[in-house]
Chain A
Amino acid sequence: MLKFPIYLDNHATTPMDPRVFEAMKPFFIEHFGNAASRNHAFGWEAEEAVEKARKQLAELVGATAKEIVFTSGATESNNLALKGVAEMYAQKGNHIITAATEHKAVLDTCKRLEKHGCKVTYLPVRPDGLIDLDLLKDAFTDQTILVSIMYGNNEIGTIQPIREIGAMCRERGVLLHTDATQAVGKIPVNVLADNIDLMSFTGHKMYGPKGVGALYVRRKNPRVQLTAQLDGGGHERGMRSGTLNVPGIVGFGAAAALAQAEMEADMTKARALRDRLQKAIEAELDEVYINGTMEHRLPHNLNISFAYVEGESLLMGINDIAVSSGSACTSATLEPSYVLKALGAGDDLAHSSIRFGIGRFTTEEEIDYTAAKMIDVVKKLRELSPLYEMVKEGIDLTKVEWAAH
């Protein structure tokens, strides 16, 4: 039996796994202690639970427990990594390299740092969504202290060559931060093999709770230091003050353990469903374009532009399916997705894009329903589309003199 609406927006957030919720439950009322209370059992219990979770997270990403700093989420982790490094290493240099397709939590943090005297290089991406390593090589200066490149993209799912980027940074004594929010728990990520020095990730993208995240901070080869951005009790080895969100952390740890145990199965299933959706759509509709490389891509992501159909009108037609669009009309700024624009796809294709995010609980039945519905609505809207009609008449839309407004 299908249950509506169907949830295919797992890049925005994932539903919590019921097993995670079970693990968290005792830490709200029964074991409510403050993990920083050193002189009674309430505190000891809380601390023990937090340290168990820290170990679970460390194991998932190939780190040691002491290298995990708990935060409120990936946005805070990104802020702490960039601002903390910029401040700590200001004597060494002031140059940061990032990419145009990063999340706003990285881009806007970089913009703020620019106001405080940092120089930031925003690397373009190739049409397939990946950065050009030659351009990265040329971007390093003797002032470069940090490279921040995301692991898997939240819109188009492209996986950057982090291992190679890490090796290039290592050679030059530059730190590498990666926003791995969409990747950790979904695909194998290993901070040692991938040469990562700092890494942001979060609970609610991996079937854990919202409001809890982590920053991996390397302790050895090199030992990374950060200037704390919150002043207070000096929690988390002085890097992040604030009473720990014990139930959230417990849930985050449980989610990590589940993700590690079930990663192969989750990946295989997601990839099969994703490919099924893509094939069904491509079999029935012409002029659909996949945004970003299929070769280096998160297995649960599909981002498609349906040419000559506008994204928001498409979302209206599939209102029993939860997905998101790069269309300007769905954003507060009325600007189409900057990620798709960075691929050079053209604004018209950015307006026509839909992002599908498949999850652990997605079923084949849901995918088949979604494919059929997409095909139906796109066909209907193309009947309504003056652009589709013009193209069918043989008119080259790029040669038309449009009255931009």
Chain B
Amino acid sequence: MTQAATNASDLMVEMHNVNKWYGDFHVLRDIYLEVKRGERIVVCGPSGSGKSTLIRCINHLEEHQKGDISVGGVALTQDVKRIEQIRRSVGMVFQHFNLFPHLSVLENCCIAPMWVQKKPRKEAEALAMQYLERVRIAEQADKYPGQLSGGQQQRVAIARSLCMHPDVMLFDEPTSALDPEMIKEVLDVMVELAEEGMTMICVTHEMGFAKTVADRVIFMDQGQIIEENAPEPFFNNPQSERTQLFLSQILGH
């Protein structure tokens, strides 16, 4: 990142000193993260380091106990209306896709625009087809999720999120549950999305993806952000020992 000065209104996601506990267990410790509009962040780290919890706090799927989070300038509070407002502007893609199995692919994409944004069915369907087209799965629109492969399901899940016109997309290990031959088709869609300027926070171990699209790579361990850098210095010249160890473990074979 070259621009040092950031206008406050450019900030899409702000997390200031966010702390979270599961009972006594301190999962997130003083997280400080600011994401600008259009910025692409990749979060990595060993399992249990709190990276999924971190992004799940942004749309309040997990509740943080201390600190401040705001999305697009709207502060996240306990207020249900406020939470729903933020969720409407934050798309999320899950590790296990979480498509709705009782609805067809098209209905999966239409249901939120129709019931949350009150769009008429025709308009919602046209929108859904447009995004299904973009993730190259429009021809499967009438099938049910159970009839699709993992990679296809994940692409539908991305289209489903995009139908809400989110300002930010959160990806929670989107390729970890996929068979190896399907990872590429999902990553390709994500790269295209990044190229179109979508603000993205992506928890992933796909280091190739991080190198191609990330503006910043964040390394987490034991609930803390250990290191944060542009991909090139991050991979070639990691500062902390824990980052070096982690990178040697995932890249060193």
Interaction A to B: no
